Structure 1
Amino acid sequence: MPTRLAALGAAVLFAVAGCSSPADESATIVTPPSPAEDLAELPAASAGGACILWDYDFIEQNLGVRFAVAAADQVDDTSTCVVQTLSAPWPDLALSVVETTKANATIFLDTRMPEKATKLTGLGKAGYRMNTKASGEHGPTVEIGWLSEAKQLQTLRFTFAKDATAADVKDMNAKLLELAKALSTTNG
């Protein structure tokens, strides 16, 4: 979706900047046929990467937030996905998955768990949760990372808009844990 919007924006710029001659003072401005909100919503999975593991309805059912734009990347054995709303840069939700690791629970907790995180039980072989305060233009974040039963490193990170309250963060801790459990891979 962002690529299509960028291409549309570039077409508008080319139409305004490059299609009129110096003698032609009345340049034609090209406008999109409808606002971005009216464009058809592409499935999150169409972005590829880790986005193939979820869809907007699944996320909304688990978190209560409706996202509409997805972007993904794949570098070596790490796949990522970020989803956002159309109306603002936050909230957003990111998922990263490392396809396989030789780490066990002890190594995961010793090397992958951030210093200020708390250990989680009941999620994969080992897990953690970390809440961070608002920073820059965005609100607080809730991050959950875990070593799945299928020996994958998985991380979910929800970033709030600036106006999020402490109650919003507390509520998201429970919701994000349930989403992590639904996404956690098993051996079979």
Structure 2
Amino acid sequence: MPTRLAVLGAVVMLFAVSGCTADNETAAIVEPAPSESAVEIPAAAAGGACILWDYDLIQQTVGIRFEVAASDQVDDTSSCVVQKTDEPWPDLSLSVVETTKANAEVFLEERMPAKAAKLKGLGRAGYRAYGQPAGEHGISTEIGWLSEAKQLQTLRLTFPKGTPAAEVKKFDAGLLDLAKALSTTNG
């Protein structure tokens, strides 16, 4: 019984000091201090192929502002994916194979997807291909090329499910501009 009285006393005391007011009084409302805005971490901070680009370059060429980046490295292939913080798509990926023995002819015969179109003016050889919707994502557009530095590079822009093909094609020129900006003589 003394324990119950102690608990009851503690609860009453808690209500007494918690600011309970009578019906005719109004409680003070304290507004929280404005939170600091999030600091954008550069894409290059993710390492890997992310060091080759930044969000501003992507926005200037492709026309989409991405906010987060992640990278990976497997053997001699480095990759980077960027996307928005609040949406899974669109996303943009870049993969770079450090070096290859393939020449332009071998690249086009063996590396270019069956339904791809050849691109001129991009590295030693290049192509553009479209991927069909799968799972939770929509159409993707891909540019692959053999750089002057004999690297295999691939850019893929994947859209949300339901994005019409005509909308996807609006990004073709910008994606090619980004590929050209990334295709330097040093890799």
In the superposition, the TM-score normalised over structure 2's length comes to 0.78
2:117 aligned with 1:121: no
Q: Runs of 5+ in structure 2 lacking a partner?
A: 1-33
The DSSP-based 3-state class of the residue aligned with 1:86 is: coil
For residues 3-29 of structure 1, the C-alpha deviation after alignment (integer angstroms, 9 at most, x for no partner) is xxxxxxxxxxxxxxxxxxxxxxxxxxx
C-alpha separation in 1, matches of 2:142 and 2:165: 15
Specify the alignment match of 1:70 in structure 2: 69
2:166 aligned with 1:167: yes
Relative to structure 1, the CA distance from residue 76 to residue 70 in structure 2 (aligned partners, 3 Å threshold; closer, same or farther) is: same
In the superposition, the TM-score normalised over structure 1's length comes to 0.77
The one-letter code sitting in structure 1 at the alignment partner of 2:135 is G
C-alpha separation in 2, matches of 1:74 and 1:109: 25
Relative to structure 1, the CA distance from residue 187 to residue 87 in structure 2 (aligned partners, 3 Å threshold; closer, same or farther) is: closer
C-alpha separation in 1, matches of 2:75 and 2:37: 36
Specify the alignment match of 1:176 in structure 2: 175
RMSD: 2.0
C-alpha separation in 1, matches of 2:184 and 2:151: 7
Equivalences for residues 26-175 of structure 1 within 5 A: 38-175=37-174
The DSSP-based 3-state class of the residue aligned with 1:135 is: coil
The DSSP-based 3-state class of the residue aligned with 2:82 is: strand
C-alpha separation in 2, matches of 1:39 and 1:129: 36
Is the contact between residue 143 and residue 155 of structure 1 (CA under 8 Å) also seen in structure 2?
A: yes
Runs of 4+ in 1 over 3 A off after TM superposition: none
For residues 4-61 of structure 1, the C-alpha deviation after alignment (integer angstroms, 9 at most, x for no partner) is xxxxxxxxxxxxxxxxxxxxxxxxxxxxxx99x9432210000000000011111011
Post-superposition offset of 1:187: 4.7
C-alpha separation in 1, matches of 2:91 and 2:50: 13
